[in-house]
Structure 1
Amino acid sequence: MFLINTKGNAQSVENPDELNKKIAEAQNNTKKVELLLRLSSYYLNKTGEIKADLDNADRINTQANLLSDRLKYKVGKGKSILLGAQIYREKGDIENALEKTKNAIAYSKKNNLIEQQAASYAEFSIYDADVEQKAKYKKLAIQFYKKAGAKEKQATTLKELGELYSINEQPDKAESFLLESLALYKTIKYKKLQGVYNLLSEVNTQKGNYPESLKFALLAEKTAIAVNDTSLQLSSIYNHVGLVYYYLRQNDDAEEYWYKAFEIAKKHNDTEYVRTIGENLCSLLIRQKKEKNALKLIKEMQVKFPSSNMERIMKENYLLFNIYRILNDNATAAIYYRKLADFYGKNADRNGNSIAILRSFASYQYQIKKYDDFYRTVKRLDTLAASAGNNLIRSESYLIWFKADSSRGDYLNAIKHYQLYKSLSDSVFKGEKSKQINSLQIEFESEKKDKNIDLLQQQAKVQQIQIQKDNVIRSVFIGSVVVLILFLAFLYNSFRIKKKKNEALEIQRQQINEQNELNKKMLIEKEWLLKEIHHRVKNNLQIVISLLNTQSAYLDNEDALMAIQNSQHRMHAMSLIHQKLYQSDNLANIDMSWYIYELISYMKECFNTDNKIHFVLDTEKVCLDVAKAVPLGLIINEAINNAIKYAFPSNRKGEVIISLKKIENNDYKLIIADNGVGLPEDFHDTERDSLGMNLMMGLTDQIDGNFEMKNDNGLKITITFTRNTEFEVIDESSEII
């Protein structure tokens, strides 16, 4: 989806009451000018765009300007001219703002005010529409700040330059300036680095480097908490952490951070932040197939947080376009498609956000079967994603490319694009990158726990000191010289004994720790090997499926093609098992509710049953080992395959129910039932000598289960079996797809 990052900077910590008091007490000197300028800046940068605040800023700046003239204070005069330009800009009077900025540049040049010249060029860069021209003036400002020795302002302008390139989707340029800014900030021991870390996270997200993006996002959060930043910038940071988790498909983490960002934005009553984060939450709801909830949230924001900003309106149109597209309301989706195409261009080459727009355009064009437009769009999308180094976007585009090729019967290109999809998908979510991401999360959580441990240790030390004081006082009152000497002797002897015991215990502890570390290493190695085995098995099955698909292109015999297709389905059923095992932390068991959902989705896609057969899933969360899961998956595959092919002849519509539930103790029942034509009346056991039927009965015997098949308003297959080990059922779900 078209996800949005918020740009946030920490608010001023000036106290206007204290500044007014100091101004009233100050004499008419340069110090008073600086105080007036600080107070004017406070009202200018105050959260919100209230006219009264801008009027106050203008009035106070005029006082500073007049006093600077009387004192012939050139620095104050230069600052006042530039501040006036910024006030005009904030009021929306761009013409006067630009004229004032030019005056500030001329005045600072004439009076050799190097730092003011830098600040004036930084302001001047705002008014030019061309990115490189903006960058040119930013670079001039950086040079003058460097010449003036103003390292903090130099670092800040470098950060702004990096942000400029980031906004214009030039992440490589942005990253170099941001890293330079970070290094300069660190040389002056500047603590509030959360803004730089947040931008570095953003540019790495643009490049598709999610481990690095997550590292900087968590650093931004850690730094903001350390410096007690509760401003809107914290909302921006939480928003971007949520973005990274969204791209990593860790939906629960993304939801947690976005709701934290949402609450901060509402607390500050900032419409743009609330809308931005609310729209990201809509994207998450769309991913979770809660399109109606997303539509409801958009309508609520339209009422409670209206916006007239065209970019904001187009982002809203983008979300509505995707919601109606996914709901298959192509007529309504077409309305928003035309709006987006007019604003961004059919090739999404205007107003930025090209990749996100092209992704949705490609999905829509594939959906309405405009293949010429689709291929043009998806090729451009792949080129842009490749130039940005974003393998996640490329993998998703290759998946839909594969579907389009398959729909048109171009099987050779379909195989090529499917293999590219799998290769890029694995490179994003598997292997070393997944380890880096997990390591970053563990490190961040460990630091939080370490802080809590340190706090508890400090409290324990305070308590221990108090106890020692009480013991000393008690000993003074109840002890005597003789008893004290005997007591000290006894303590000394006890200390020696305890010291020897402690030394022995310390040696034992070290040995135990060494053994534990060795055991941990062995366990990690074994888990890694198991994951690698499951990964390779899955890949090998996928290769066989691709080979069978290639072979089918050269066969004319319908029975042979059907046999190959059935074999592909069976192999995919087994492949899903191994895929889930190597993607999860639990290498022993499979969540069958997830597995059945994925298998049915695959069967629906293969046979295109959306308009004909309605599938109902009524499953509990059941965890089975591989020995049970693989046979059970093959049984479900065969039963659904038969139902799709034979239960609803002559385009008859119907329903297939798949139920997996616990009966009692460790006994479970699997039911696959349809309301189709059922078995013929003269059906008898000898007619069970088909490969599919024998396979289902043989696999049932393999899991020591009971197989039953009968007519019950259609065909009903019931399999009861016993699970090998005991697990608690966490929750139950019933879902209709």
Structure 2
Amino acid sequence: MILEKKLFLALSFLVLFSPSIYGQIFDFSKPDPYKKIFVETDDFGLSYLKELEESLEKIESDTLKFEVLNDLAYYWHTRNLSTALEFTEKGLALTLEKNNSLWNGRFQITKAAILLRQEKLDEAEAVLKEAEAKVTESDLSFLNTQLGYVYERRGQLGRAADFALETLRLGEKLNNNKAIGIAYSDLSNLFWKQEKYEEGLEYGLKSLSFFEERNVVDLDYDFTLYVVGNNYLKLKQYNKAMEYYTRSIEIGERYGFYNNLSDVYISLVDLYAFLNEFESAEEAGKNAIKYAYLLDNAFMLMRSYLSVGELQIQNKNYPAAITNIKKSIEVATPSFGDGFFLSKAYNSLGEAYAKNAQYQEAYKAFSEYDSLNKIVFTAEADQRISQLETEFNVAQKENTIQLQETRLLQQQTSQNLISLIAGLLFLILLVLFVSFSNNRKKNKLLRKQNKEKEFLLKEIHHRVKNNLEVVSSLLALQTAQIKDPNVVSAMKESQNRVYSMSIIHQRLYQNDHLSSIEMKDYFLNLGNHILDSFGEEERIKINYKMPELHLDVDTAVPLGLIVNELLTNSLKYAFPNKQAGEITIDLDKKSANELQLLVKDNGIGQTEGEPVKGTGFGKTLIDLLTRQLDGTMQVIYTSGTQYLFNFKSHRFP
């Protein structure tokens, strides 16, 4: 899957490199500086909360500041609930000051998400009801998700399922894959609590498919991996459960999702116990408690102690089990709202007491378990969830039937239109046939004319090439009559300039492309010729580090002349006293209308401001040709001499 590959690469980078490699979340040089985390990007490391906080002072827009502050508050609730609540209260105060009702409602939803994890379920519900009148329809899926969590924690699983399905309907209406994924994830978790593990697994995998379409790794995707692992664990598919728990831990550790990490380590206690790997189970229990303390979350801490106690029952260490389970219950009371896990705690406590021969205490614990179990696992809740599943499946089928009826109506309409249009088509076909026949004759004539023009154009390039070779030969004859070495050198340089132009015309009439030149092959031919003219084939090596690149004639000719001058200059001055060396030519497109040319040697180099050697004609020619191509030149005086050119033009093919 695409998201899994992306996750693997991201985690590999996290291990190999420092956090500075991650993409920045803010670029204040842009009109929209915030690359929204877990929406537009997940390309950042553990320091993202610090970057969000530091950005607040630089943000001038109220709306952007609200958005960043709300994200800061919400994602702190994955690490520490008290800190998250501080940022939320700051956001609420600021939105009231600015009289922004919409963002005030959004901060209230975030506050409720924190309150319900602090077991303040009534207060969370009241805040959500107040926020409902302030926010837009696009916010309601998140709001309903939090309301579902409130009822789930109270043990009212049927009502929780109602809100999950409402989130699903909103997600489908607004085409919001994240909302759909969260709804399926919540239904998967509810089926798991109802011990309907096959259905839970089906909905969990369906949830992951919607998250993966978003191609963003986030808190809810991470939680769903954990939920799917739980269903696999109960179905005794231990390898699959371990696979999903491991993936969840990798994400949680990358982004600091302490709540999910504590959840997964609690489940790993059970998994390792089933596998009889008790040392690993104990280590997982310690990690669960560690992250629960970091999160400052009584709910996670209660479950962590419970998981450790249940492990000690399996190890027959009943006194230690009683101590840890009692500690779990002490953490949970008196305001603990989750009857599901509290009932599990009393059941396990009763079992530990019974196996430790403390039968009176066991009876009291089992009695408490029975009371809580009747509240959570009611026939009404079970019936409601089954009913909701049936309603959902029926709605899906009704939508399919309605879609098929619409398609049939469209097909019938299409058939009528086809009947009406058939006659017109016949007439149009006759007209088209006549037109096609005429166009065919015209095209045949045009192809003939094009071939004649192509032949003539190739012949012109052939003749130009021949004429340039005649000029080169004349220069060679003239050079043979000259004794002055400076004049001889100038004549040779002129010959090479003429040759650089003649190669282009040769390539044009020899290749299929009459409008462009392949530059790598061209530079290779030009370089070999210049080395031969100086007799330096054995001493100097030219490297052509460039891809195949086709350019038009008006660009290729100036570039060829520039490279000719630079090669000649290097051969004359860079390698004195028969010194061996290398010259590198690199030409590449940096964008649709920008070329970069690099010519460098590893010779003796020169210093900045050093007087021009020779007549200076070559430098003047290079400057003129660079301006002709709307370019810039930079000379780098390190490790030999490097000439770096950037050319801007709209003519590059």
Higher Rg of the two aligned structures: 2
TM-score, structure 2 as length reference: 0.50
TM-score, structure 1 as length reference: 0.45
